[in-house]
Amino acid sequence: MQTCKLNYAAIRGVRAQFSNAVLFLTPIAIGFVFDQTGFYRNSLLVGAAVMLIAAFTFFQLKPSVKEPALEASRPETN
């Protein structure tokens, strides 16, 4: 079980770097689009499309399967 926790933390740490970059750059990009066009409609439509794709992808995920415990790792109690 410890391995799963370590893998989860590593995956979350790597994902956080990308998430933070997107969270930093998105307002700058939307502001640039607003400065060029004078309205937010296109930015909001793109954001809505990305959210719909994310929701669709989320609902396609299957539940994880737990790995069976290894019998060799348990100490014998005889």
What is the per-residue pLDDT across 4-54, written as a single tens digit (0 to 9) for each?
666 888 888 899 999 999 999 999 999 999 999 999 999 999 999 999 999
Rounded to 5°, the CA angle 72-74-78 comes to 105
Report pLDDT for 71. Answer: 56
How many CB atoms within 10 Å of residue 46? 13
Q: What is the pTM of this model?
A: 0.60
Longest dimension (CA), the chain: 78
